[in-house]
Amino acid sequence: MSGQTLLDRYEAVVGPPVIRHLRQLGDHLAGLRVVHVNSTRSGGGVAEILNRFVPLMRALGIDTVWEVLTGTEAFFDATKTIHNALQGSSKGLATEMMRAFEATNEANAERLRPLLEEADFVFIHDPQPAPLLAFCPNRRGKWIWRCHIDVSRPNRKVWRYLRRWVAPYDADIFSLADFAQPLPHLQYLIPPSIDPLSEKNTDLSDDEVRWTLERHGIDPSRPLVVQVSRFDRFKDPLGVIEAYRLCRRHQDLQLVLAGGGASDDPEGAVVLEEVLAAAAGDADIHVLVLPDDAHRTINALQRGATAVMQKSTKEGFGLTVSEGLWKHKPVIGGDTGGIRLQVMDRFNGYRVRTPQGAALRLRHLLQHPNQARRMGENAHHHVRENFLITRQLRSVLALMAALRA
Ligand code: UDP
C-alpha cells in the first residue's frame, strides 16, 4: 500500500487535522535515516508497536528500518534477569550474565555498525540492546533510549549497572513520569499506543467473534472474562484464576487466559505450567496458547468478553488494556504503572490490588450490565483521545524535530 493510501485510512479514524499535522512534521523530517532496535520481532508490546510504527514512519517519507538483536540463551536469561530486577526483583546479575549481555551486544554491533553509525536517529528499545551505543564509537546521529518497562523502584545494583550503558544517550523516553530515573540527558514522556487499523484492533463482525469463541470451546451466550498476556508472573495469571474462582461462587462465568511466547522471554514455559496446573479440572477456564500471528483471534476474544482483565502487579504500559478499552470493554486492571494512565476507576473500569478486589469488581460488572455498557463507551472514547498510534507518532516526530535542530 502506498504511503498516501495508508495515511488516508487513518484520516478516516482520527480526522483530517491530525493527519495534516503528521504530514507537516513528516515533510520536515523526510529523507532522514532512522533505525529502531529491539530484541524480538514478535511477542510483547514493543514488537506490537514497531510492527505498526515503522510502516507509518516510512509512509511519511522517513527512511526507517527495524533491526532485531540475535542472541544466545545465556543472553536472554541475562536480559530477563535485568528486566525482572528493573521491575523490583531482588535477584541480581551474576558476572557471567553481564559478560553474556555485553558480548551479544558487541557481536550485534559488528553486524549492524555501518547502519547504526550512519543513521540520523537510532531508537534503542528497552535494556536488551542498550550497550550497542558503546560499540558504535563513530556514530553521527542522535541516539534515544526508549524504556518501555516500569523502572520506578528498580533493584539498585542492576539499575546502576544498566545506567552506565544508557547515560551516554542523547535522550530517553519513558512511558510515564513515575518511571523516569535521573539521567544526564534530555528526557521525554511518551506513552505507547494501539493501532485502530491493525488486525488486533480493527472492527470484526458479530459472526466472526461468535465463531472464534465457539472454535475455542467458549460459549458466546455466557459471561466471559479475558486476559491476554505473555505467561509472566508480573501479569499475575494465578491471581486472575483466583479472582475468577471467587466470582464464580456467585455468578456463572468463563475465563480465557490467552498468551503466546515471546522469543526473548525464557520464563514463559515455566509460568505456563503453573497456570495449567492451577486451571486443571475446570472446563470453564480456557488457557489458550496462541501463535504469534493470532491477532484476529485475540481481537475476537477481547470483543467477545463481558469484561477484560489485566491484573498485572507491575506493568510498563499494558497495551492489552487499551486494546480492551478500544473494544468498548470495561477493564479491570492492576493498580500499577501504565495501567493507571488508562483505567480511571469507575469511569472505564476498575483498578485493583488483590484477587478479592478483582472478583468483587467483576461481579459488580456482571450484575450491572447497563453500567458496564456506559463504562465501555467511556473506555473507547478515552483511547480515541489518548492512546492511538497517531498521537504517539506525533510525539516522536516532534521529539526528532527538536533534537535535530
Ligand atoms: N499479545 C499477543 N499474543 C499473545 C500475548 C500478547 O499478540 O499471546 C500482544 C497483546 O495483544 C499486546 C502485546 O502483545 O498487544 C503485549 O503488550 P503489553 O504492553 O500488554 O505487555 P508486554 O508483553 O509488552 O509486557
pTM listed for this prediction: 0.94
pLDDT of residue 267: 85
310 alpha carbon – ligand 1 mean position (Å): 11
The response to whether residue 119 sits with its C-beta less than 6 Å from ligand 1 reads no
194 alpha carbon – ligand 1 mean position (Å): 11
Q: Is 366 helix (H, G, I), strand (E, B) or coil?
A: helix
Residue 133 to residue 57: CA distance in whole angstroms: 23
What are the tens digits of pLDDT across the range 305-341?
A: 999 999 999 999 999 999 999 999 999 999 999 999 9
- Atom 17 of ligand 1, residue of closest alpha carbon: 45
134 alpha carbon – ligand 1 mean position (Å): 30
Residue numbers of the chain with a pLDDT score lower than 70: 1-4, 261-264
At 98, the amino acid letter reads: M
pLDDT of residue 266: 80
pLDDT of residue 382: 98
393 alpha carbon – ligand 1 mean position (Å): 20
199 alpha carbon – ligand 1 mean position (Å): 13
- Atom 4 of ligand 1, residue of closest alpha carbon: 259
pLDDT of residue 261: 67
265 alpha carbon – ligand 1 mean position (Å): 12
The response to whether residue 261 sits with its C-beta less than 6 Å from ligand 1 reads no
At 68, the amino acid letter reads: V
pLDDT of residue 42: 87
The response to whether residue 320 sits with its C-beta less than 6 Å from ligand 1 reads yes
318 alpha carbon – ligand 1 mean position (Å): 8
pLDDT of residue 37: 98
Atom of ligand 1 minimally distant from the CA of 230: 5
Which of 47, 123, 127 shows the shortest CA–CA distance to 84?
Answer: 127
The response to whether residue 48 sits with its C-beta less than 6 Å from ligand 1 reads yes
The response to whether residue 89 sits with its C-beta less than 6 Å from ligand 1 reads no
pLDDT of residue 39: 97
Residue 372: phi, psi to the nearest 5? -60, -40
What are the tens digits of pLDDT across the range 195-213?
A: 999 999 999 999 999 999 9
pLDDT of residue 1: 66
Contact criterion met (CB below 8 Å) for 220 and 212: no
Q: Is 349 helix (H, G, I), strand (E, B) or coil?
A: strand
Residue 213 to residue 62: CA distance in whole angstroms: 40
Q: Is 42 exposed, middle or buried (0-12, 13-18, 19+ CB in 10 A)?
A: middle
